[in-house]
Amino acid sequence: MAHDEPVGLYLHVPFCRDRCTYCSFVTTRDDSLQAATVARLAKQVRSWGAALEHPKLDTLYLGGGTPSLMSVEELDVLTNSVREAFDLSSLTEATLEANPGTVDLTWLQAARQLGWDRISLGVQTLDDGLLRRLGRIHDGAVALESLELARKAGFLRRSGDLMVGIPGQDLSRVLDDARRMVDTGLEHMSIYLLDLDKNCPLKADVDAGRLALPSEDEVATVFEALQVALPRMGLEPYEISNYANPGAESKHNSRYWERRPYLGIGPSAASHLGDFRWTEEGNIPAWADARAGVEIQELDAAESLAEIPLLGLRLHRGVDWNALRNRAEKQNLLPLIDSWEAKLAPFERGGLVIREGGNVRLSERGMLLSNGILSTFV
Ligand code: SF4
């Protein structure tokens, strides 16, 4: 099964030193599973490379969890498996995620030498009290130091995560954190809204009235303030939650919104090849022991068409609506487009959706209210 179009590869490393109080990701503190999981990751990389007949890879992303908890030897094994199994002649970006408090200069230099050229650091906030509330293992000073260590190790492409909606976090704190992160020279920032898993400790505190989440209006005010402040700091918005120096957008993450093919390997990793989608087993021991199968979903023509605006309108440049109509016409799906246009009309009149020539995009305010607009396509 050869694959002509270059693919992206996501590898999930599901280990963390401690579990954050808000976390809903597939990750564990049990490092006794780490060796078996990394070995299976490398094995799966080789199997997929063989199954797709040594496909071209143009973006690579090592996420987690905390990939920076891997030893240099483990990272070496995993990186080499990718090098052997895939054609990297058109690789444009190799990102690894790291958490402050788990990296030192030696590890970062080794990662850089293995070919990783972009790093995404989970900073979240620089407020030590809020970091404790989130159960993070680092303080603000360590987060800034990690960004600096990454620069020293030769990572010219650095991204930081900034979280909003934390109980007790105010607007001036968010803006100050953003400024201090940008001052370290990072080229990319991802803004996350605190999202509480139903079983996480922070949710129990909120439900019991011990902590209060900010209101929707307060959160919207913060997002709006960042829409104004970040471009002044040189970071332009290119997606609802992502800002970058011009040209420094995440190529791997962009492929999700552009519906370009990707392969996800690891517990809970998702894949999209052609019209096929699947998510791997989320139980880490079962995944490491190869005890679980996956259920493959094939999208029909209408579902596939709906993904284009559902994902593409997250991007600031929006969607080529003429091309979408042409595709729909060929598939006898024009009534679907007509129904979407009818649903989008009130948003357009309200200034949340902008139609310019054959292009449709969300306005800045539309980005803040995107959930309601994008539900048109679900
Ligand atoms: S570092 Fe990330 S993946 Fe790990 S526990 Fe915290 S939120 Fe979850």
User: Model confidence over 48-69: pLDDT tens digits?
Assistant: 999 999 999 999 999 999 999 9
Mutate to test the pocket of ligand 1, among 15, 31, 99 (most ligand atoms within 8 A of CB): 99
Q: Is the CB of 23 under 6 A from ligand 1?
A: yes
Q: What is the torsional sign of CA 171, 213, 373, 63? A: positive
Q: Name the token pair of 217.
A: 């209006």
**Is residue 137 a part of any domain in this protein?**
yes
Q: For the domain that residue 308 is a member of, what is the CATH number?
A: 1.10.10.920
Q: What is the CA(17)–ligand 1 centre distance, in A?
A: 9
Residue 29 near residue 18 (C-beta atoms within 8 A): yes
Same domain, 253 and 305: no
Read off the tokens for 175.
């803006």
Domain membership flag for residue 267: no
Q: In this structure, is residue 115 part of a structural domain?
A: yes
Q: Which are the contacts of 229, defined by CB distance < 8 A and separation ≥ 6?
A: 175, 178, 179
DSSP 29-75: S-GGGHHHHHHHHHHHHHHHHHHTTS-BEEEEEEEES-GGGS-HHHH
Residue to substitute in 17, 22, 25, 196 for testing ligand 1 pocket (most ligand atoms within 8 angstroms of CB): 25
72 near 109, Cβ under 8 Å? no
Closest by alpha carbon to 114, among 143, 87, 153? 153
Asked if residue 99 and residue 23 are part of one domain, the reply reads yes
Judge residue 166's burial from the number of C-beta atoms within 10 Å of its C-beta, 0-12 exposed, 13-18 middle, 19 or more buried. buried
If you search the block for the tokens 């929006």, which residue do you land on? 318
Give the residue, out of 12, 16, 203, with the most ligand 1 atoms within 8 A of its beta carbon, to mutate for a pocket test: 16
Residues 280, 294: contact at Cβ < 8 Å? yes
For residue 337, count other CB atoms closer than 10 A to its CB: 17
Q: What pLDDT, in 10s, does the model give residues 319-341?
A: 999 999 999 999 999 999 999 99
- Answer yes or no: is 166 within a domain: yes
Q: Is residue 167 located within the same domain as residue 225?
A: yes
CA gap 360, 339 in Å, rounded = 15
CATH of the domain at 243: 3.20.20.70
Ligand 1: does its nearest atom lie under 6 Å from the Cβ of 25?
yes
Look at residue 266 and tell me if it is in a domain: no
**Residue 21 near ligand 1, beta carbon < 6 Å:** no
> Could you tell me if residue 295 is inside a domain?
no
Distance between Cα 19 and ligand 1 center (Å): 6
In this structure, are 239 and 324 located in the same domain? no
Nearest CA to ligand 1 atom 7: 23
Percent of the chain whose predicted confidence (pLDDT) is above 70: 99
| In a shared domain, residues 109 and 18 | yes
Give the Å distance between the CA of 22 and the centre of ligand 1: 8
Q: Which of 3-12, 13-22, 77-86, 111-120 has the lowest mean pLDDT?
A: 3-12
Query: Which amino acid appears at position 152 of this protein?
Result: K
- 161 membership: H or E segment, kind and range: strand 157-164
Confirm or reject: Cβ of 38 under 6 Å from ligand 1.
no
Bridge partners, 184 (sequence order): none
Domain that holds residue 308: 300-378
pTM summary value: 0.96
Phi, psi of 107 (to 5 degrees): -65, -45
Is residue 290 within 8 Å of residue 40, measured between CB atoms?
Answer: yes
> Residues 217-270: pLDDT tens digits?
999 999 999 999 999 999 999 999 999 999 999 999 999 999 999 999 999 999
The verdict on 220 and 343 lying in the same domain is no
Q: Are residues 218 and 367 in the same domain?
A: no
Q: Among 226, 257, 288, which residue terminates a domain?
A: 257
DSSP 332: T
CB atoms within 10 A of CB 329: 11
Q: Phi and psi at residue 298, in whole multiples of 5°?
A: -110, 125
Atom of ligand 1 nearest to the CA of 65: 3
Give, for ligand 1, the residue of 19, 62, 142, 163 to mutate: max count of ligand atoms closer than 8 Å to Cβ.
19
**Token code pair at residue 371:** 């959930």
- Position 294 in a domain: no
Are 235 and 364 members of one domain?
Answer: no
Identify whether 287 is part of a domain.
no
Nearest CA-CA partner of 80 in 38, 118, 36: 38
3-state helix, strand, coil in the chain (%, to 5): 45, 20, 35
Q: Which of 84-88, 186-190, 293-297, 333-337 has the lowest mean pLDDT?
A: 293-297
Q: Is 99 in the pocket of ligand 1 (CB under 6 A)?
A: yes
Do 148 and 17 sit in the same domain of this protein?
yes
Same domain (yes/no): 236, 367: no
Q: Which two tokens stand for residue 79?
A: 């990186």
Closest C-alpha to 127, from 158, 157, 171, 96? 171
Q: Are residues 119 and 248 in the same domain?
A: yes
Distance CA(153)–CA(338), nearest Å, equals 53
Report how far residue 240's alpha carbon sits from residue 170's, in angstroms, rounded to the nearest whole number. 21
- 89 with 17, same domain: the answer is yes
At residue 1 the predicted structure's pLDDT band, cuts being 50, 70 and 90, is low
Question: Looking at the 3D structure of the chain, how many domains does it have?
Answer: 2
* Res. 2 pLDDT band, cuts 50 70 90: low
- Model confidence pLDDT, tens digit, residues 273-318: 989 999 999 999 999 998 878 889 999 999 999 999 999 999 999 9
